[in-house]
Amino acid sequence: MALYLIKDLDDDYHSKLGIWQITETEDELRRLCSVPSDELEEISYVKSESLRKQKLAVRALLDALFEEKVYLSHHDNGKPYIENSSINLSITHTEKYVAVICNNTEEVGIDCESLDRDFSAVEKKALSEEEIDDLDEEKRNEQLAIYWCAKEAIFKKMSQHNVDFAEQIEIDNFHLRGEGELDATFIQKDGFEEELHLEYMTFDRHVLVWVAG
């Protein structure tokens, strides 16, 4: 069982974070987790073994996070929810890790990426001119990864269509550390600004960013 972390977050919203490291074979993951037969059939149609394992690892992590059996489903926009619970949750997965954040009352968002990826495309795709000016040449890829994960986490939390990452999601300047906090602003299409607080951690060449409340 490759449960990497379960943590009650020290925030104002009593969020819970879980991380699973995918070290098992696909058969081992199938034996570890309880998956409804219809979902198991759906997973079996996925061509990529890596993606099948990620989906099964999400299930294993949910089993570890919840005492009762939960039924995972998705809205039409892809946002996950638990059919037999009103809890809010957000899910992210990479080839090596899956992570979940959940909260009883507040919408949440989470995103994880491998730092072995090249994030240079993020600069033009998702950053404002001010954010680009704040980049440090020596740690550029790591900073871009955090910017991307932060904006993805906010996007998941807000659950809106056609969000312009560069124009509508602003991340304040930050100093890259092993773990830390981020301040951000989400600008609604009508101009209303919502202040958000995020946290991040880096581990095993991965970065994880989450937002609650």
Phi, psi of 94, rounded to the nearest 5 degrees: -125, -175
What are the C-alpha distances in Å from 42 to residues 31, 39, 165?
Answer: 17, 5, 32
Residue 127: both structure tokens together: 């950053």
DSSP assignment string, 5-40: EEEE--STT--EEEEEE--S-HHHHHHHS---HHHH
Domain with CATH 3.90.470.20 in the chain: 3-105
Q: Above 70 in pLDDT, residue 196?
A: yes
Q: How do residues 134-156 score in pLDDT, each as one tens digit?
A: 999 999 999 999 999 999 999 99
Q: Above 90 in pLDDT, residue 34?
A: no
- Give me the pLDDT at residue 69, please: 86
Could you give the strand order of the β-sheet that contains 3-8, starting from the edge strand earlier in sequence?
3-8, 16-21, 97-103, 88-93
Residue 167: both structure tokens together: 């124009």
CA 210, chain centre distance (Å) = 6
pTM listed for this prediction: 0.95
Q: Above 90 in pLDDT, residue 78?
A: no
Q: What is the mean pLDDT of residues 149-164?
A: 96
CATH superfamily of this structure's domain 3-105? 4'-phosphopantetheinyl transferase domain (3.90.470.20)
Predicted confidence band of residue 49 (pLDDT cuts 50, 70, 90)? very high
Predicted confidence band of residue 40 (pLDDT cuts 50, 70, 90)? confident
